[in-house]
Structure 1
Amino acid sequence: MKAIWKSFLSYSLVGLANTLIHWQIFFVLRVAVGLNQATSNFTAFCVAASFSFYVNALYTFEAKLSVTSYVFFLCVMGVLSFIVGHVGDRWHLQGLLTVAAFSLLSLVFGFLFSWSVVFRGRRP
């Protein structure tokens, strides 16, 4: 049980950097470029997730990198990011609420998904 909490702490710290990257890209795409929330959230997620997948694989889970795992993670979590953005568009939510909701969901669901599926069996 101690190992999961240590991993969650490390995942959370990487998540802070991921969140900064994600939010900056989201707001540039949403405000400056004028894209909708679904597209902005998905695109920002893909960029930020590429960073965090690599760092989490090396430091949080100490796992071997795999293109298959990366694509699997990106697809599943990317669908979640698009859905959250779509809900933000449909309900006319403020962009800040959309990315905050996704960041919270991504922290919890992303960690559980990474721990139990993506890096399972790939950890030392």
Structure 2
Amino acid sequence: MAKKFSRYTLIGLLNTAVHWIVFALVVSLGFSQAIANGLGFLTAVTGSYLLNSKITFNKAPNKKGYSYFVIGMGSISVLIGALGDYLEWPGLVTLVVFSFTSLLLGFGWSKWVVFK
């Protein structure tokens, strides 16, 4: 399990960079953190799903798994973004909270639901 978690983490770092860049761009255009976090997530999710299916979990990608991945992780993304708006967090705090939360919950969600 440690090997899978390491791979998941490395892929997550790459996708986190993509997510953060999109988040910063969308917020700089005047949109809310909830919208920015959702769009940042959606931009990074496809690459994350495809890389994790092949590299981390050695499974063929499929529509059902992709749907579960997007729904589960997207829900966390929007909820953390909305929490950031509600609590008036700086964007960086929202990104850090989401990134940490999605790493931990996302690995479990991926291992036991998406790629089981």
TM tier, shorter chain?
over 0.9
Provide TM-score, normalisation by structure 2.
0.98
Inter-partner Cα distance in structure 2 for 1:30 and 1:17: 20
Inter-partner Cα distance in structure 1 for 2:98 and 2:46: 16
Alpha-carbon RMSD:
0.6
Q: Which structure is larger by alpha-carbon Rg, 1 or 2?
A: 1
Q: CA deviation at 1:28?
A: 0.2
Q: CA deviation at 1:78?
A: 0.5
Q: CA deviation at 1:49?
A: 1.1
Aligned length, in residue pairs: 116
Provide TM-score, normalisation by structure 1.
0.92
Q: What is aligned with 1:97? A: 93
Q: CA deviation at 1:76?
A: 1.4
Tell whether the 8 Å contact from 2:72 to 2:109 is kept in structure 1 after alignment.
no
For structure 1, the residue ranges without an aligned partner over 5 or more in a row are: none
One-letter amino acid of the structure 2 residue matched with residue 101 of structure 1? V
Q: What is aligned with 2:18? A: 21
Q: Which structure 1 residue ranges, 4+ long, deviate > 2 Å from structure 2?
A: none
Q: What is aligned with 1:108? A: 104
